[in-house]
Amino acid sequence: MPRDDKADREMSVLEWRALPQTVAWYSRNMAIRKVGNVDVFLDADGLVESIQLCGRALYLTADPALLKKQFRGEDLDAMPPLDQLYSHVSTDAIIKANPDCYYYDERLGTLVLRSLGNGGLVEPGDIRNGGFGMLLAGEGWGEGSSREVAALALLYAGIGIVFAPSIAPIHRQNLINNGMFPVTDLTLAKRLAGRERVSVDEGIGSFDDLSKRVVRYGGLFRFMEARAAGREPETLIDTPPRPMTITEKILARHMKTRHGAVKPGDAGFIDVDVGFSHDYTTAPADAMIRAALGRPPRVKNPASIHAFPDHLTLAADLPGITREALGGIKDLREGQQRIAKELGLRFHATASGGSTGICHTVIREEIALPGQVILGTDSHTCSAGALNCLAYGIGNTEIACVWEHNQVAGRVPRTVRIRLTQKLQPSCTAKDVILHLAHEGKLKGTFTGKVMEFTGSGLAEFSFEEQAVLSNMAVECNALTAIMEPTEPLIRYLVERRGLNREYVELMLIYPDKDSEVDHLIDLDLSRIQTLVAAPGHPGNGLPLEQVRGTRVDMAYAGSCTAGDITSIDMYAQVLRGRKVRIPTFIQYGSERVREEAKRRGIHETLISAGVHMIEEPGCGACINAGPGGPQQGQVAISATNRNMPGRMGEGDAYLANPLVVAASAVRGYICGPEDLPQ
């Protein structure tokens, strides 16, 4: 049978790139498509029927010798035990933020996993040249950033199947959206690794109905085109009325339901109030639509779509940056500006093309409102959850769907309710609370793929900006997002900072029903929280300050979406007023609004007088190794940012701590708290 030209036009972008994504037709109306080094068998309707590994299985063992053996072309005698497979491999380790994320073509396949273990375990090209089609890893695969290039990099390297006992929800969705196959069942993984042909139904049995359909179509673009053509009619969610959590109430208003109610696991299409992308993701999303659908993007409601040039605004000034990386930065940023103009997106840039603020910071300060659904191509989109709205990170394929349809496929997540009581000790901040929870999330997987719903009398003791720290770092707990029960600090923020009418605000607020069911309830006494410092490698590596006090640090960095707000900036000034920093110290504002308020209140001058290098252009900066302040090889930093995975901030190591500890450590040159400074 000849190839179907219409089917060719509907292929995903990856099937048009350099990978072996061809479709061969056989007798009996059976066809085969290659997804990396995996054979995907299609039925007579062109839907995925079964899969079979045609390449090799790569066991991502923590033993360097066994890794090198596989890269030399030798297969292991048996699968290593699960506890010997590399665990908690973040998207920063799968593909580096700087400079590898500047690409969105087949070069990604050469660079995949070269940051694993701070580098040296996987050399460029090892995986792509090894003929691997399946990767098997340990717990926590794909944690961290929502960057979809992590999925693309694997696919460009030939990987079509990924096994791990647990896979971070955003990364898992990115794999599905690009026609790949995430597997968490060990028995099934062993059969696939043994090159057994397996029915797709066996691999997606635990998926929600919508994800199953996306898998059968071979990716999100194919599915959305089928839906637009009427081949995939949408059915109403039939859940009867029931008590609901905050998230469930919001989704019940944004999904098509028969009775105005939803429950965990219900799947359908979510109406999106606000969508945004940044300079890493806007041009790639545009390119994916053009390649997949053979036409430019169409934006249904440009006023609801935002673009931010915030991630790479200072990257070109990094020492030692290569000409190739500069070319990638130029391509991404110029492409974003051109696309925003062509499509009529709201482009948040200064007159010179610089950043007005970090995307999720500006969304929180100017745009998001209670009860809304906010989706962005950044895992820290969850920061807006402090505004009592549902906000979470998505990949490039999904933001492309938001552009074209103002909708995204999704399902109702489960909720973990965290009831806060009492008050924090003077040396503690919201950062210590979320580091405490990140530690539990890493050890127990309590929050994986779920919503963290913060409630209780203790929540109102936090300022709005401190509540935003809790929501911002929910993704470091491997949660989908976090959402806050309304409190007086939130209402005052919307009235005093955003200029909204109090009565109007109160009408928007969403509260959980008293008897709403949650997956887990955590009662957290804030008075028992210790000052924590997360050791290098993972935000969940929280240790009491006492255990790391005195550890030498070479530099301090403060800012990012987690700690670049006016409350955090004021915390640095409280510690540094009348003192001098002993080590290079960098503070970067989260937005122009924060910078101008700091100057009006004299905080900016206080920090300069202390010897701090103030980075006045807001942006992500050193948090993603794209600005000054990140540790280079052999250096150790103390940071108030959100992540310290290997390679995240640079080639050196980073400890994470609250703003008070970071400022005090900058004065001493070693990790300490403000109580360790002379009065």
Give CB contacts under 8 A, 24+ apart, made by 335-342. Answer: 335/282, 335/283, 335/286, 336/277, 336/278, 336/279, 336/282, 336/283, 336/307, 336/309, 337/309, 339/282, 339/283, 339/286, 339/297, 339/307, 340/282, 340/307, 342/296
Torsion of CA 160, 161, 162, 163, to 10 degrees: -170
CATH number at residue 90: 3.20.19
To the nearest 10 degrees (0 to 180), the angle between helices 430-444 and 464-472 is: 20
User: Would residue 305 count as lying in a domain?
Assistant: yes
Do 416 and 382 share a structural domain?
no
The partner residues of 462 in beta bridges, in order of sequence, read none
492-505 pLDDT per residue, tens? 999 999 999 999 99
Do 330 and 310 share a structural domain?
yes
Note the pTM of the prediction, 2 decimals.
Answer: 0.84
Among the candidates 528, 557, 576, a domain finishes at: 528
User: Would residue 329 count as lying in a domain?
Assistant: yes
Taking the C-alpha atoms of residue 20 and residue 30, their distance in angstroms, rounded to an integer, is 18
User: Would residue 647 count as lying in a domain?
Assistant: yes
Among the candidates 196, 223, 258, a domain finishes at: 196
> What pLDDT, on a 0 to 100 scale, did the predictor assign at position 493?
97
Burial code (b: 16+ CB inside 10 Å, e: under 16) for 311-349 equals: bbbbbeebeeeeeebeebbeebbebbbebbeebebebbb
To the nearest 10 degrees (0 to 180), the angle between helices 566-576 and 592-600 is: 40
CATH number at residue 335: 3.30.499.10
Taking the C-alpha atoms of residue 159 and residue 129, their distance in angstroms, rounded to an integer, is 12
Residue type, 557: Y
Q: Are 626 and 642 in contact (CB under 8 A)?
A: no
Taking the C-alpha atoms of residue 321 and residue 628, their distance in angstroms, rounded to an integer, is 12
> What pLDDT, on a 0 to 100 scale, did the predictor assign at position 30?
65
Q: Range of 101's domain? A: 56-196
CATH number at residue 507: 3.40.1060.10
Taking the C-alpha atoms of residue 647 and residue 103, their distance in angstroms, rounded to an integer, is 17
**What contacts 289, CB < 8 A, 6 or more positions away?**
221, 295, 296, 297, 400, 403, 404
Taking the C-alpha atoms of residue 378 and residue 197, their distance in angstroms, rounded to an integer, is 36
> What pLDDT, on a 0 to 100 scale, did the predictor assign at position 29?
52
Domain count, the chain: 4
Do 420 and 404 share a structural domain?
no
User: Would residue 205 count as lying in a domain?
Assistant: no
Do 288 and 172 share a structural domain?
no
User: Would residue 225 count as lying in a domain?
Assistant: no
Q: Position of tokens 């409102």?
A: 369
Do 522 and 548 share a structural domain?
no
User: Would residue 104 count as lying in a domain?
Assistant: yes
Bridge-based pairing state of the strands 585-588 and 555-558: parallel
Do 417 and 405 share a structural domain?
no
Note the Cα 281 to chain centre separation in Å.
Answer: 12
Do 367 and 305 share a structural domain?
yes
The C-alpha angle 165, 476, 262, rounded to 5 degrees, equals 75
How deeply is 120 buried, as exposed, middle or buried, from its count of CB atoms within 10 A (0-12, 13-18, 19+)? exposed
In this prediction, the residues of the chain whose per-residue pLDDT falls under 50 are: 1-23, 25-28
Do 441 and 330 share a structural domain?
no
Residue type, 671: I
Do 444 and 537 share a structural domain?
no
Do 452 and 406 share a structural domain?
no
User: Would residue 226 count as lying in a domain?
Assistant: no
Do 295 and 166 share a structural domain?
no
Taking the C-alpha atoms of residue 146 and residue 97, their distance in angstroms, rounded to an integer, is 11
Taking the C-alpha atoms of residue 330 and residue 467, their distance in angstroms, rounded to an integer, is 36
Do 548 and 670 share a structural domain?
yes
Q: Are 357 and 620 in contact (CB under 8 A)?
A: no
> What pLDDT, on a 0 to 100 scale, did the predictor assign at position 141?
96
User: Would residue 302 count as lying in a domain?
Assistant: yes
What ranges make up the beta strands (E) of 513-567? Answer: 520-525, 532-534, 542-544, 555-558
Note the Cα 518 to chain centre separation in Å.
Answer: 24
Taking the C-alpha atoms of residue 356 and residue 617, their distance in angstroms, rounded to an integer, is 8
21-33 pLDDT per residue, tens? 444 544 345 699 9
Which DSSP state fits 62?
A: S
Among the candidates 468, 499, 528, a domain finishes at: 528
Q: Are 465 and 561 in contact (CB under 8 A)?
A: no
